[in-house]
A = this chain, B = another copy of it.
Amino acid sequence: MMQQANVPEPLQPVIQRIREGFNEDLEKVREFLRTPSISYTGEGIQETAENVARFIRELGGEARVVPTPGHPIVSGRLDQGAPKTVLVYGMYDVMPADEPDWSVDPWAAEIRELPKLGKAVIARGAVNTKGPLAAFFRAVARYQEAAGKLPVNLLFAIEGEEEMGSRHFVPFVEEHLDELKQADAVLFPFFSEDEEGVPSMTLGTKGILYFELECRGGDWGGPTERGIHGSYNAWVANPAWRLVKALSTLVDAEENILVEGFFDGVKPLPEREEAILRRQVESGLLDERPFMEFDHVRRLKGGLRGFEAWKRLFSQPQLNIDGIVGGYIGEGTKTLLPHRALAKVDVRTVPEMDPEKVAQAIRRHLDKHGFPEVEMRVLNIYPWSKVSLEEHAVQAMLGTYQAMGRTPQIWPLNPGSAPYYVFERILGVPYVTGGLGHGSRQHSTDEYFTVAGMLDFEISMARWLYSYAALAEGRASVEELGWQEG
């Protein structure tokens, strides 16, 4: 049951209006989900971009569908004469829905009753992230209806290639730097609750360095043009062996990373975040066991458990083999001496590693250990980003969750990677992802969000807009707005 404790007086009519209009809002969100907008095929992309632009115009804003070499980015602004401005980041593209075992049409946005969760909208994009995007527009519309105008101005940058790596988003931001720098905070609206109703808040993301290591036959040895008869390995060196030997110098048997300079710059968790983490693990709010169960993992590295496990996840980099391939990989006993072998590797960086220096350190390590012929090709590289717990945007979200009766998990870093450095570093603006609400099965069959969760989401967005403005303008303290460090 939701506790609606401590609703500031100006918000009361807004929340009431959200409740009154919710059935209509739900229909509008479902309608939005019924137009496909598939990154990889382009199906429905243009139409959906226009729909997003229309949402912005319906709020009284200006919107443009800005072409890129890929899918367009919807750029918009809604001036409310407020002192503070929030940049709303979002995505209108989705993955394909070609899995054969959807229980309903993925583009019908039908409502079904889910066990334990109640009514839910099932659709591709329900949670990731056309559902929360459309619901955010509805929350803003209700806010305007009830209060006349919003407590902040809004800017919009809604991209259509997130599922393909956001490849034209950074150039877009760089080209629109003057306008976007007017923002005081960035918001990425999202349904942040898990199945138990616990929302989570991440204070940054790890960066990524993704590279390939390839060993081919050459002057050092090995066949240079094609695989040769396997029986000649008595004579001829094997690039697969060479790659294995090179890789094996990078980590020890426990996967401890052995590359000199790899950890340069790594900072421990901020004391306050570490203290919160310890309390959250001790209270059971953060528990690694459900993750292990879901991913079918019986033991963490080094037998880690509890606080030490979480601390590692949130503060340590990794060096992961994503894939390795070489030679004959089919059934049976075909013999071959391959002429090449390839590994795909990712490093997740943490504050304050320099990803370019990490790449250099790995190259230096390979050379020093006698593997100059192993080629290293960097395919993707961008830095970590980190947002302080003290930022108004963050505190407003934490306060909103707590005022609505939820104690959020606080994740000092998202262990995955997202190019949010574009906000923190390029724009120099703090960002926050969030909102109540629950959905799941992104990139899978029967993706959904819960109907009850969407209502909570709309209310939480209204509360966040209100709280953020009040905090940023110095009109209220976070404690007044409901947050207590848990």
Please report A residues at the B interface, Cβ cutoff 8 Å: 165, 206, 208, 210, 217-226, 228-238, 240-242, 244-245, 247-248, 251-255, 288, 291, 295-301, 304, 309, 312-313, 316-330, 332-339, 341-342, 344, 346, 348, 370, 379-380, 414-417
Assess the B417–A231 pair: CB atoms within 8 A.
Answer: yes
A248: chain B residues at CB < 8 Å are 244-245, 247-248
Assess the A296–B344 pair: CB atoms within 8 A.
Answer: no
CB distance from A292 to the nearest CB of B (A): 8
- Give the CA-CA distance A320 to B241 in the complex, in Å: 8
Assess the B344–A234 pair: CB atoms within 8 A.
Answer: no
Assess the B320–A238 pair: CB atoms within 8 A.
Answer: yes
A334: chain B residues at CB < 8 Å are 322, 344
A416: chain B residues at CB < 8 Å are 229, 231
Give the residue name and chain of the B residue nearest to A316 (CB): B234
- Give the CA-CA distance A225 to B206 in the complex, in Å: 26
Assess the A322–B328 pair: CB atoms within 8 A.
Answer: yes
Say whether, besides A236-B300, A245-B253, A312-B234, A335 and B326 are in contact (CB < 8 Å).
no
Most buried by B among A208, A316, A318: A318
A341: chain B residues at CB < 8 Å are 321, 324
Assess the A210–B318 pair: CB atoms within 8 A.
Answer: no
Most buried by B among A235, A238, A338: A235
Most buried by B among A221, A300, A335: A335
A241: chain B residues at CB < 8 Å are 247, 251, 255, 321
- Give the CA-CA distance A301 to B416 in the complex, in Å: 42
A254: chain B residues at CB < 8 Å are 237
- Give the CA-CA distance A251 to B417 in the complex, in Å: 36
CB distance from A234 to the nearest CB of B (A): 4
Assess the B323–A336 pair: CB atoms within 8 A.
Answer: yes
Assess the A235–B296 pair: CB atoms within 8 A.
Answer: no
A295: chain B residues at CB < 8 Å are 223, 228-229, 232, 236
8 nearest A-B pairs in the assembled complex, by CB-CB distance: A248-B248, A323-B327, A233-B320, A225-B296, A323-B328, A240-B321, A325-B329, A231-B416
Assess the A415–B335 pair: CB atoms within 8 A.
Answer: no
The 26 sampled A-B contact pairs (Cβ below 8 Å) are A217-B297, A217-B298, A221-B297, A221-B298, A221-B299, A223-B296, A224-B298, A228-B295, A230-B320, A231-B348, A232-B295, A232-B415, A235-B301, A235-B309, A237-B299, A238-B320, A241-B247, A244-B324, A245-B253, A322-B334, A323-B326, A323-B336, A324-B325, A327-B344, A333-B379, A333-B380
Assess the A415–B234 pair: CB atoms within 8 A.
Answer: yes
CB distance from A290 to the nearest CB of B (A): 13
